Chains A and B, each alone.
Chain A
């Protein structure tokens, strides 16, 4: 399981390193610079889709600076994606604790994640509805109330055509 592998990697890394440069860098890097360092991006494999065709979404976070960066988030769910403003294409709110956490990047790190949108909206706990053809805005944002003001969001549009 990748999560175990990553936890393990983190553990060994944490065990052998001599100085916590991430913490040091966090302590000395000005806040404004920290936000500006992180580049948030969202893209799709195509512009136009047939109805029912899955939309491949690629979410990228990139640390532009050659120093480790940590960004405080309002939740351990560091980021979320939306379709027309609906989180994870769902009208049903998900229980995610709203305690602060930190999204960490090593120097010049690029994190890339994939999501799929099957052109369905979750309308209730147990129901999803296919969307109609039209234009949709896919966006990604760090989980911060001031994400838009800090530039920690990105969006793209796609078109579903019959």
Chain B
């Protein structure tokens, strides 16, 4: 078989007639020739099927058709994600419980304004000996009491305030620092980029918690930070911004090269406007995802600080601090003191992770969140 000469003269072959026949058939189709009618109809149906694909009607099909409604579409995708919605529900419940745990009042010298009068928690979290010390869970004290006879249930509810607000505020502050710095570094490049990124590299050399621990004694003597709450927040923000700066710089570097940015530059739009209007909005999605996931990290770190006895005043109803107090009770065999605050942290961090994964899938379905997680920590 192999000794055959290859066909070299195929360049001279031409088919005549097929095309003409095709044209004829088209014409006859148009005049709905009976013989060809069903064949033609079959073709149409095949064509229409190929065009529409297999229609599996879900909300997204119509939504995707409309451009410029990214957030709305993202929300739709998010809503269809059951785990993310479950996580969100947990977060909402925890927030409501924390807010309505005890009344919130704003006191000035003369007047006291009550912002929120409800009180879900049965007793003041700081009140001692509302029950016997180290009591096991009972109807009166569903989560038991700690060594000082304080009601654990009330303390866990109120403790959510620390955790939730520290997480939100610290991440918010870190974003305010990290996003502008990272965007500037990525957009302008050159020595500005070098300078900012070297600082980022240096801060990156220190583990999150170690740096926060080391900063606490520096911040504590600063008078305006007061009770220790802000010490913790600032310590976490100072250590947290580097991750966002790094992340958004990388995004900006790729967005910067897109046509619409070049076009805006060519039109003489000021750099500030370009960064604000064009670059950051297109680079922000992974940052939003990271920020959400980082609330979990920050909450864990804040709880660790509380657990180590750093930052907040001793005896605060913060979940980490409560766990630290529970350690000695635990060694005596009283398990309940540590179970409930720990469970609360666990639930919160779990929910944040579910929501973060959901936001990632909603904003950028093709991006793997674990890829970013390794760029942050």
* Direct contact between the two chains A and B in their complex (CB within 8 A): yes
Q: Mark A residues whose CB is within 8 Å of B.
A: 2, 5-6, 12, 15-19, 21, 52-54, 56, 68, 106-107, 109-114, 116, 118-119
Residue contact A114 to B45, C-beta cutoff 8 Å: yes
Residue contact A18 to B83, C-beta cutoff 8 Å: yes
Within the complex, the shortest CB–CB distance from B324 to chain A, in Å, comes to: 31
Instruction: A50 to B353: give the CA distance in the assembly, Å.
Output: 60
Known A15-B368, A17-B361: A107·B80 in contact at CB below 8 Å: yes
- Cβ proximity bits B281-295 to A, threshold 8 Å, 1 near / 0 not: 000000000000000
- 16 residue pairs bridging A and B, Cβ less than 8 Å apart: A2-B53, A2-B54, A16-B368, A18-B353, A19-B82, A53-B37, A53-B41, A106-B58, A106-B80, A109-B56, A109-B58, A110-B58, A112-B56, A114-B45, A116-B42, A118-B42
Residue contact B56 to A18, C-beta cutoff 8 Å: no
If over half of B's interface residues share one DSSP class (helix, strand or loop), that class is named, otherwise mixed; here it is helix
A2 proximity list for chain B (CB < 8 A) = 53-54
Cross-chain contact of B49 among A17, A110, A114, A119 (Cβ < 8 A) = A114
Q: A16-B360, A18-B353, A112-B56 are in contact. List 6 more A-B contacts (CB 8 A).
A: A52-B37, A52-B38, A53-B38, A68-B82, A109-B56, A114-B45
| CB closest residue in chain A, given B59 | A108
Residue contact B45 to A116, C-beta cutoff 8 Å: yes
Instruction: A110 to B58: give the CA distance in the assembly, Å.
Output: 7
Instruction: A12 to B34: give the CA distance in the assembly, Å.
Output: 48
A110 proximity list for chain B (CB < 8 A) = 56-58
Docked complex: B39-74 residues within 8 A CB-CB of A: 41-42, 45, 49, 53-58
Residue B366 CB within 8 A of the other chain: yes
Instruction: A133 to B84: give the CA distance in the assembly, Å.
Output: 56
A109 proximity list for chain B (CB < 8 A) = 56-58
Within the complex, the shortest CB–CB distance from B289 to chain A, in Å, comes to: 11
B80 proximity list for chain A (CB < 8 A) = 106-107
- Cβ proximity bits B20-50 to A, threshold 8 Å, 1 near / 0 not: 0000000000000010011001100100010
Residue contact B45 to A16, C-beta cutoff 8 Å: no
Residue B275 CB within 8 A of the other chain: no
Within the complex, the shortest CB–CB distance from A58 to chain B, in Å, comes to: 10
Residue contact A54 to B45, C-beta cutoff 8 Å: yes
A52 proximity list for chain B (CB < 8 A) = 34, 37-38
